[in-house]
Amino acid sequence: MTHDRRRRSRRAWAAVVAAVLAVTGAAVGAAPASAVPATIPLTITNDSGRGPIYLYVLGERDGVAGWADAGGTFHSWPGGVGPVPVPAPDASIAGPGPGQSVTIRLPKLSGRVYYSYGQKMSFQIVLDGKLVQPAVQNDSDPNRDILFNWTEYTLNDDGLWINSTQVDHWSAPYQVGVQRADGHVLSTGMLKPDGYQAFYTALESAGWGGLIQRAPDGSVLRALNPSHGIDVGRISSAAIDSYVTDVWNSYRTRDMVITPFSHEPGTQFRGRVDGDWFRFRNGSGQEVAAFTKPDASSVYGCHQDLQAPNDHVVGPIARTLCAALIRTTALTNPNQPDASSAGFYQDPRTDVYAKLAHQQMANGRAYAFAFDDVGAHESLVHDGDPQAAFIRLDPFTGTATPIGDGGTTQEPNEPDPGTGLPTGTGTIRVDGTLCLDVPWADPRDGNQVQLATCSGNAAQQWTRGSDGTVRALGKCLDVAGSGTADGTVVWIYTCNGTGAQQWVYDDGTKALRNPQSGKCLDAQGGAPLHDGQKVQLWTCNQTAAQRWTL
């Protein structure tokens, strides 16, 4: 039934949020953040030139499915429904007219914000309050000929996660954003100029035009993700079969090494193919996961043969393997995930849909498949103390206006525009006093950096490179797990070219900022500063704990 696909999508989204929490450690050792309120303002701006717009806030709270009204009040779906779907209550909220904005209250839920153009959507409930989501790959779905899209979000006590998703289809363009306590807005999802139509044109040129769905009048509605396209016969089920065969044959005589957690570099799994099975072993040589040779639907959907449970072993291996197959890097790089996106989608048998989705994003980030977050290439923004959220419905042609101050997140390994890091070697002092120090001059990966009395030794000599890195003892100053939450540990780690190791310096405020997170290098606990005080990421606040002299 159609609600099964919804459950898979929500499990994948829940896994992403859980992974971020695990990586950041929920601000271990940090000062307590402000409590996230029960609702935050969500402003929807209509730059599409179309209307009317209808909004829907749908999701789950404490295991109960329901919807929220414009004031943020949650309503559960009615019970007493059997196996035959019945129409759901009208949960629509009037959206903004062309060139206008509306602000509603976004409640603590894990769910979606839908928006449709021109007419309301059709939702149904089944089995005592389970929601039947749109499944427009089926021509009989009542929403098949409606232009609509959605964003996924989770708002809870740990903050807001909100994304721009293309996991199910590419359709009406939009951006999402979150405003932090310092007023800065993180946003993602904006397309390049004329990127919406450029995607469809390139898709057809590549022979994947069968994924495109049109309205009865011939206008384009969307392009299905290839996992859906294969399921309904819109593209060949053999689209990636030969690549998978080559991968399986390649790893009969060599190991694939998967290191799924950047914050746990010692956790590795080695895989080798035996017959049709890719078998993975832990560090003790024990088999912990095995995957049969997947069909194309399993690869593009990252499910079925590549099912990823929300655990600490099988799921992370499956996620990483699926990402390597979709990005077609599994043959060229036995060490997964890739540290750089430079080699993604280079094989002619690649996922053209995902390739084009990333190409048409202004910042290169997209959620083109379920586990595009492997390596942090997804179009997601998060903040632990969100002040407001934003959705901007962008124009279908021309150039979009960025949300807020244009604080768009960058694709990993891309420089933060308009900023820099003065090059040189020497000490880095906090508030002109204590020095940034590698404890015990120990260069092991994961050694959290601290403040210490300046001594002039090698543990306090930092080289600021033209590549944006800050290095000592041959290692890079690194944000643990590419975290973005307040309180994320900053340590030294083997240099790998990721956004977690990029730093820019503001000569005015004396802040050292990590562009990927938008947050500043900070002494845990703030003033008074003292010997042995650890450092972390924290929202930029211009206090003494964030004033660094190079």
Per-residue pLDDT, 466: 76
Mean pLDDT in residue range 446-456: 94
Q: Which residues neighbour 444 within 8 Å (Cβ) at sequence distance 6 or greater?
A: none
Check pLDDT > 90 for residue 2: no
Check pLDDT > 80 for residue 354: yes
Residue 266 is encoded by which pair of tokens?
Answer: 């010692």
Q: Are residues 57 and 119 in the same domain?
A: yes
Residue 228, H or E segment: helix 226-231
- Identify whether 213 is part of a domain: no
Q: Are residues 181 and 256 in the same domain?
A: no
- Identify whether 85 is part of a domain: yes
Per-residue pLDDT, 409: 53
Mean pLDDT in residue range 283-298: 97
- Identify whether 400 is part of a domain: no
Per-residue pLDDT, 7: 36
Per-residue pLDDT, 234: 93
Q: How many domains are contained in the chain?
A: 3
Q: Are residues 142 and 14 in the same domain?
A: yes
Mean pLDDT in residue range 434-440: 96
Q: Per DSSP, which regions of 77-184 are E strands?
A: 86-87, 93-94, 101-107, 110-117, 124-126, 130-132, 147-156, 159-163, 169-170, 174-179
Task: Tell me what percent of the residues of the chain surpass a pLDDT of 70.
Answer: 91
Q: Give 19's pLDDT tier (boundaries 50, 70, 90).
A: very low
Q: Are residues 464 and 506 in the same domain?
A: yes
Q: CA torsion, points 126, 10, 91, 106, in degrees to nearest 10?
A: 150
- Identify whether 198 is part of a domain: no
Question: What residue numbers bound the domain in which 255 lies?
Answer: 241-347
Q: Are residues 163 and 49 in the same domain?
A: yes
DSSP assigned state of 3:
H
Please tell me the least confidently modeled range out of 226-235, 248-257, 503-512. Answer: 503-512
Residue 167 is encoded by which pair of tokens?
Answer: 């996991």
* Cα 294–Cα 299–Cα 304 angle in degrees, nearest 5: 65
Q: Give 543's pLDDT tier (boundaries 50, 70, 90).
A: confident
- Identify whether 201 is part of a domain: no
* pLDDT (tens digit per residue) in 117-132: 999 999 999 987 889 9
Q: Are residues 73 and 155 in the same domain?
A: yes
Q: Are residues 158 and 16 in the same domain?
A: yes
Measure the CA–CA gap between 309 and 317, rounded to whole angstroms: 10
Per-residue pLDDT, 418: 31
Please tell me the least confidently modeled range out of 59-68, 327-336, 404-413. Answer: 404-413
Residue 53, H or E segment: strand 53-61
- Identify whether 202 is part of a domain: no
How high does pLDDT run on average in the chain?
89
CATH number, position 388: 2.60.110.10
Measure the CA–CA gap between 298 and 527, rounded to whole angstroms: 53
Residue 27 is encoded by which pair of tokens?
Answer: 């601000």
- Return the percent helix, strand and coil in the chain, to nearest 5: 20, 30, 50
Among residues 521, 527, 383, 486, the alpha carbon closest in space to that of 30 is found at 486
* pLDDT (tens digit per residue) in 200-244: 999 999 999 999 999 999 999 999 999 999 999 999 888 899 999
Check pLDDT > 80 for residue 21: no
Burial classification of residue 293, based on how many CB atoms lie within 10 Å of its CB (0-12 exposed, 13-18 middle, 19 or more buried) = middle
Q: Are residues 341 and 371 in the same domain?
A: no
According to the per-residue pLDDT averaged within each range, which of 187-201, 391-405, 508-522 is highest? 187-201
Model pTM score: 0.72
- Identify whether 357 is part of a domain: no
3-class SS string, 309-337: CCCCCHHHHHHHHHHHHHCCCCCCCCEEC
Q: Which residues neighbour 301 within 8 Å (Cβ) at sequence distance 6 or greater?
A: 8, 225, 227, 369, 370
* pLDDT (tens digit per residue) in 461-472: 999 987 789 999
Strand partners, 511: 506
Per-residue pLDDT, 509: 77
Q: Which residues have a catalytic role annotated?
A: 152, 168
Q: Are residues 155 and 9 in the same domain?
A: yes
Measure the CA–CA gap between 502 and 510, rounded to whole angstroms: 16
CB atoms closer than 10 angstroms to residue 253: 8
Residue of 10 and 496 predicted with greater confidence? 496
Mean pLDDT in residue range 352-373: 94
Measure the CA–CA gap between 454 and 100, rounded to whole angstroms: 56
CATH number, position 328: 3.30.920.50
Q: Are residues 443 and 507 in the same domain?
A: yes
- Identify whether 532 is part of a domain: yes
Q: Are residues 66 and 116 in the same domain?
A: yes
Determine if the peptide bond prior to 528 is cis (ω within 30°).
yes
Q: Are residues 525 and 445 in the same domain?
A: yes
Mean pLDDT in residue range 167-194: 94
CATH number, position 430: 2.80.10.50
Q: Which residues neighbour 481 within 8 Å (Cβ) at sequence distance 6 or greater?
A: 23, 24, 261, 262, 263, 488, 500
